[in-house]
Structure 1
Amino acid sequence: MVMDDDILISAADINRLFELRARYGLWICQPAFSLWGKISHPITCEQPGNILRYTNFVELTCPVFLREKLDEFMHVYDPVLVGYGIDYWFLHVLGIKSGTKVAVIDRVRCINPRDRFKGGLREIDRLQPTAERIKVWQEIKARHGITREEEGYKEFGAVRATGFWDRISGVLSWASVLSCVAIRFTWKGIVRLRDIFK
């Protein structure tokens, strides 16, 4: 799993992602993003009632790879590209245009905190400004003939939650996300109070 350090997700849900990736034979998957957080790509937004949706896109924020597929991408990856466009590049390298190898896991939800809760400047912007990241991405895209971004988002089907345990585990996933939020904000509050009274 490759994950941003500010994603709110429980250890149990991370384990569930790996289990569902293996059960459904996925090459790449990601948890669905909760509406409580930032949604950069509409296809990654949670859709209750599904276990997963087969798609042509997974965002770089928190993908789970089949190890061999991550290795395949790392053989061509150029570290000059930071963040912007990497998700389109790895899908291009793996040749995934349709089928049942890429999925957004609606059963597992996470929260990508909105930028206003991140203290202003994003970590990636400290590393490389957005304009520079876009420029580098355009160069790599042209060099490798990557057209995934222009193809748009597609869903190829879904595995629906049908039984009682399917539905109840969706509720449990929500409970674990909410507990992560509570713990994170409580801890931040305690740290701030400690700093005030130093």
Structure 2
Amino acid sequence: MNRYLIIARVGDNSLHPTWINSEKRNFDLFISYFGNEEKKYSEHADYYEHMKGGKWPIISRLIDKNWEIISKYDAVWFPDDDLLVDTNSICKMFDLFSAFDLSLAQPALSMDSYFSHPCLLQQKKSIIRFTNFVEVMAPIFSLSSLERVKHTFSQSKSGWGLDFLWPHMINGKIGIIDVTPVIHTRPIGGELYKLNPELSPKMDIVKLQEIYPDIILNKKYKKNKFKVFSQILETRTLNEKMAYFKGKVQVALAKKVSKETKKYGA
């Protein structure tokens, strides 16, 4: 048994084999397969199940069913299956997550990734940014944070709104790990959405807001706007004020560079 765990909902075009391209790793893999081929990918997994449905409600059920196992790990990553990254990068990501005592984080997205939030694109020469936001595409939770928010996974079928909810519920540091980027290889709205047309992201946010009336989930709300509290570069650490302004500049530059960068597979 390794120190960390990946739990992934995967389909027939999953890229998870790139995550385990080396036998030497610090994580185990729990595959929750939603395709049609019985036992597909079971040989890749330390833990395996075959279950139809969306991402987060099924993961919620999986966690409840297997909490005795999951609770033995220090941190758990929930990546989408269209993320391209190798074993060494994942191991480093987990090591940094623990080294910086993070409660919630995600790896940055490479510049050739398809993305929704430019603030999540990789910043060169940056090791980590301490922020107030990560996306539902690939969150990493410490065990204590996971225990605090796991009940929310079943409250949004599409996952929309959860990424604005979690920072309000977690007591601890949140970060984007720039030095271990992943490539988001497909346009937003992947295989799970195609197989589950009943998913309604906008309605999920409305329902989630009804459950948590004291927490404003609108991304335009001032407190929900992306902010960098501090940043560790390869050469120095930025204080809160410098990190805030540099973060603003980085997002603007990331938008510009990403528009000029050919997307993966295009």
Same fold, TM-score > 0.5, yes or no = yes
User: 2:83 matched to which residue of 1?
Assistant: 7
Aligned alpha-carbon RMSD (Å)? 2.5
**In the alignment, is residue 133 of structure 1 matched against residue 204 of structure 2?**
no
**In the alignment, is residue 153 of structure 1 matched against residue 226 of structure 2?**
yes
Flag the structure with higher strand content.
Answer: 2
Secondary structure in structure 1 of the residue aligned to 2:232: strand
Unaligned 5+ residue runs, structure 2?
A: 1-76, 237-264
Q: 2:123 aligns with which of 31, 47, 51?
A: 47
**In the alignment, is residue 63 of structure 1 matched against residue 63 of structure 2?**
no
**In the alignment, is residue 144 of structure 1 matched against residue 212 of structure 2?**
yes
Secondary structure in structure 1 of the residue aligned to 2:102: coil
**In the alignment, is residue 25 of structure 1 matched against residue 101 of structure 2?**
yes
| 1:68 CA drift (Å) | 1.2
Code of the residue aligned with 1:157 in structure 2: it is S
Asked if 2 retains the 8 angstrom alpha-carbon contact of 1:115 and 1:122, the reply is no
Secondary structure in structure 2 of the residue aligned to 1:71: helix
Q: 1:22 to 1:82 in 2, by over 3 A?
A: same
Unaligned 5+ residue runs, structure 1?
A: 164-184, 186-198
| 1:35 CA drift (Å) | 1.1
| 1:121 CA drift (Å) | 5.9
How do residues 85-100 of structure 1 correspond to structure 2 at under 5 angstroms?
Answer: 85-94=161-170
| 1:79 CA drift (Å) | 4.2
Code of the residue aligned with 1:139 in structure 2: it is K
Task: Summarize deviations over 1:145-166 as a string: whole Å, max 9, x none.
Answer: 3324222111111001129xxx
Task: Summarize deviations over 1:57-77 as a string: whole Å, max 9, x none.
Answer: 011111111011011101344
| 1:92 CA drift (Å) | 2.3
Q: 1:23 to 1:152 in 2, by over 3 A?
A: same
Task: Summarize deviations over 1:85-135 as a string: whole Å, max 9, x none.
Answer: 221122222256xxxx0111111111001329xxx96322432456x2211
**In the alignment, is residue 162 of structure 1 matched against residue 235 of structure 2?**
yes
> How far apart in 1 are the matches of 2:212 and 2:171?
13
Q: 1:124 aligns with which of 193, 203, 208?
A: 193
Asked if 1 retains the 8 angstrom alpha-carbon contact of 2:156 and 2:204, the reply is yes
Code of the residue aligned with 1:122 in structure 2: it is E
**In the alignment, is residue 102 of structure 1 matched against residue 177 of structure 2?**
no
Asked if 1 retains the 8 angstrom alpha-carbon contact of 2:152 and 2:162, the reply is no
More relative contact order in 1 or in 2 (CA 8 Å, sep 6+)? 1
> How far apart in 1 are the matches of 2:96 and 2:190?
35
> How far apart in 2 are the matches of 1:62 and 1:34?
13
> How far apart in 2 are the matches of 1:80 and 1:159?
33
Q: 1:127 to 1:93 in 2, by over 3 A?
A: farther
Q: 1:31 to 1:121 in 2, by over 3 A?
A: closer
Secondary structure in structure 2 of the residue aligned to 1:53: strand
